[in-house]
Amino acid sequence: MRTDRNNDAALSRRGFLKSTGGLVLAFVIPVPGRAATPAPVAPNAFLRIAPDDTVTVMVDRLEFGQGVHTALPMLVAEELDADWSRVRAELAPAGDAYKDPLFGIQMTGSSISVAHSFTHYREIGARARAMLIAAAAERWQVAPDQCSTAAGTVIGPGGRKARYGALADAAMKQPVPATVKLKDAKDFRHIGKPTGRLDARAKSSGKQQFGIDFTLPGTKVAVVARPPVFGARMRSLDASKARAIKGVVDVVEVAVGSGGRGVAVIADGYWQAKLGRDALVIDWDTGAVDKVDTARQLRDYRTLAAIPASTTTSISAVYEFPYLAHAPMEPVNCVVDLHAERCSVWAGVQFQTFDQTAVAAAAGLKLTQVTLHTMMSGGGFGRRGVTTSDDLVEAVNVAKAYGRGPVKVIWSREDDIKGGYYRPAHVHKVDIGLDGNGEVVAWNHAIVGQAISAGTPFESVLIKNGVDSTTTEGILDAYALPVNLSVHHPKANVPVLWWRGSASNHTAFVMETLVDEVAHAAGADPVEYRRKLLGDKRPRHLAALDLAVARSGYGKKRLPEGRAWGVAVHGMSGSVVAYVVEASVEKSVPKLHKVTAGVHCNMAVNPLSIEAQVQGAVLAALGTTLPGAAITFRDGVVEQKNFDDYTVARMPDMPHVDVFIVPSADPPTGMGEPGLPPLAPAFANAIFHLTGKRLRKLPFDLT
């Protein structure tokens, strides 16, 4: 990656081509119903073919574990007929060329990367292939239709061959085809084949450079003291002890991302900056801001969720879900190199379009004067998808206040857990009426929780009639049930954000445990009852469920003594995941032993990545069930600080996971998040069959 602070200066098109060599392809696919983005100027290119035959694909998303660094190059390589051993990937900077072809902004989220880029990236490969063929045909004085391609080579009449690297310069001079014909799925050589990740070797060997590893010559490191209560300000500051610490070069007051004011300690390295921050004496003024208290908030939420009692109610349940921290392994970080006429930023970002705009505004520069480099990121789970770009703006504020060179702002684990964004706390109240045959005749459902989309650029799309779909997703999507849904969005002085699985990480738990409970009340097998509710209107749900059931041995295999089955199925981001789990309970401690997943995500571009996503989602979801997996507030202050008092799942918790994919030739749907929501309810359903206790809270409480 770049380490020279001057090497990101604007390059001319010719200068860029000289520096890289070969074919550079950049264009925008017009999307029906949306005006085409103006054609980008190099170096914002999707594809480079170098003289040594190396094919470099620019990935227009953030890679933070989901596998797009491999899946998107696979799409290009398929239509390009590239030699996969020569394919490389780079993360694209912020730029118009890299905006999502359907959403019109550059972003990563909602499990859309492969789904939205499936045609886009294939057409890039197909166009480049056509240009290479045209160059070869021109060289050989033959018609293009007399040429074919295979493994990075154009093959012409009489057995003539030319490697892509040798043709790249000439191909660049060919016109970009307006239309191309894409391959039939039966002819795929890469798509659908289990493929090792392009970034696996670097990550497993410790050579991969993440955002937190990046530095520039002369970079100083900053840590920020943020208010203990969101939005608070300082009454007084004594920084004398901090300034006396060797290596501390400055202490500056700045506006912080969570609101209010904070203090940045800038030093030669992280440890000196941290010691300096620890030495600050700050008197915080919290009198003017609301102070959230978890116990009081839950009482208020329960009151809001109250539903008038009905004589037909057979099942009445109240569910509670706490705030959750994202807790990615790589905390938030950002390098800012700010000058009078330009600003360069290096960070792992999900919303490059918003982030570049916010940086420009904070720096007082034009958008064209800001270069935003997308860095490889060590996880995110929603944390890096802040539409207000608070962490980047805060870093620019620090760089402005310092004013003497590049600054790297690093959040500690404690900073991330105590001062970051959270999955909102929620309360669900559900009253279900059953008739004499166990059929659902009434389902009154109330949800209380903060609206994530409020105040974001997505508000007009995601909030309708005062209801945020990031709160209700998954309630009405699958089963034919007479749901009467009401939603309350109270405000609270807690910054909230989507968390892996969006609303489904709590709605799926409610729906799938209640459907299981209704099945039990009706004396029906939980799998057969789900099949009945799904009917013939949800064939993909049924296919995923049937696959998981068949592969698990449910109903046929005899489980070891003390174990029970649990089942759940849920769809989101266009995909469906069904789980059949095996669990036990010993001394009130639940244990998840085995998980069998049935996945319907249409075409599986890279089955290995899908398997990895499901495995990771299982572990993340399992973490939400463990004691201590909750963010709580007292007097407005987050009570947790690190992994010693905020529980995340660890490798010893990991069950055996088998992943099976429903075959399909339809265009792919998302897989970054869908594996998480159904795991916890499947586990809870197994616990009920062992203990007779219905679990209404996350994390689990069997006492």
**Res 257: pLDDT:** 81
Average pLDDT, the chain: 92
What is the mean predicted confidence (pLDDT) over 336-345?
98
Beta bridge partners of 409: 222, 334
pLDDT exceeds 60 at position 9: no
pLDDT exceeds 70 at position 19: no
* Full-model pTM: 0.93
**What are the b/e assignments for 203-241, b being 16+ CB within 10 Å?**
eeeeeeebbbebbbeebbbbbbbbbebbbbebeebebee
pLDDT digits (tens, 9 = 90+) for 255-282: 998 778 999 999 999 999 999 999 999 9
Beta bridge partners of 335: 346, 408
pLDDT digits (tens, 9 = 90+) for 399-419: 999 999 999 999 999 999 998
pLDDT digits (tens, 9 = 90+) for 369-388: 999 999 999 999 999 999 99
**Res 260: pLDDT:** 84
Q: Give 407-434 as a DSSP string.
A: EEEE--HHHHHHHS-EEPPEEEEEEEEE
**Res 437: pLDDT:** 87
Fold for the domain defined by 422-691: Aldehyde Oxidoreductase; domain 4 (3.30.365)
CATH class of the domain defined by 13-202: alpha beta
pLDDT level of residue 18 (50, 70, 90 thresholds): very low
* Amino acid residing at 283: D
pLDDT level of residue 17 (50, 70, 90 thresholds): very low
Distance CA 46, CA 89 (A): 10
Neighbour count for residue 347 (Cβ, 10 Å):
27
Distance CA 98, CA 384 (A): 18
Distance CA 255, CA 243 (A): 20
pLDDT over 90 percentage in the chain = 90
pLDDT exceeds 60 at position 5: no
Neighbour count for residue 587 (Cβ, 10 Å):
5
pLDDT digits (tens, 9 = 90+) for 155-168: 999 999 999 999 99
pLDDT digits (tens, 9 = 90+) for 64-121: 999 999 999 999 999 999 999 999 999 999 999 999 989 999 999 999 999 999 999 9
Task: Mention every residue, 6+ apart, whose C-beta is less than 8 A from residue 464.
Answer: none
Domain 13-202 and domain 422-691, same fold? Reply is yes
Structure tokens given for 505:
């990480």
Q: Is the dihedral of CA 110, 113, 118, 121 positive or negative?
A: positive
What is the mean predicted confidence (pLDDT) over 242-254?
98
pLDDT level of residue 454 (50, 70, 90 thresholds): very high
pLDDT level of residue 22 (50, 70, 90 thresholds): low
Distance CA 11, CA 2 (A): 15
Local structure of residue 558 (DSSP, 8 states): P
**Res 547: pLDDT:** 98
pLDDT exceeds 90 at position 38: no
Distance CA 505, CA 470 (A): 10
pLDDT level of residue 24 (50, 70, 90 thresholds): low
Dump strand ranges (E) for 303-361. Answer: 313-321, 324-325, 333-338, 343-347
pLDDT exceeds 90 at position 489: yes
pLDDT over 70 percentage in the chain = 93
What angle is formed at CA 606 by the lines to CA 64 and CA 383, rounded to 5 degrees?
20
Q: Give 599-639 as a DSSP string.
A: EE-SS-S-HHHHHHHHHHHHHHHHHTTSTT--B-EETTEE-
Show me where the domains of the chain are located.
13-202, 211-288+332-410, 422-691
**Res 31: pLDDT:** 40
pLDDT digits (tens, 9 = 90+) for 169-224: 999 999 999 899 999 999 999 999 999 999 999 999 999 999 999 999 999 999 99
Distance CA 286, CA 402 (A): 27
CATH architecture of 211-288+332-410: 2-Layer Sandwich (3.30)
Distance CA 250, CA 494 (A): 30
Sheet holding 483-488, edge to edge: 313-321, 426-434, 440-449, 483-488
What is the mean predicted confidence (pLDDT) over 119-128?
94
Distance CA 41, CA 12 (A): 9
What angle is formed at CA 13 by the lines to CA 9 and CA 18, rounded to 5 degrees?
90
pLDDT digits (tens, 9 = 90+) for 172-186: 999 999 899 999 999
Let me know: does 626 contact 649? Beta carbons within 8 Å. Answer: yes
Please give the helix or strand (H or E) that residue 661 lies within, else none.
Answer: strand 656-661
Neighbour count for residue 141 (Cβ, 10 Å):
7
pLDDT digits (tens, 9 = 90+) for 283-305: 999 999 999 999 999 999 999 99
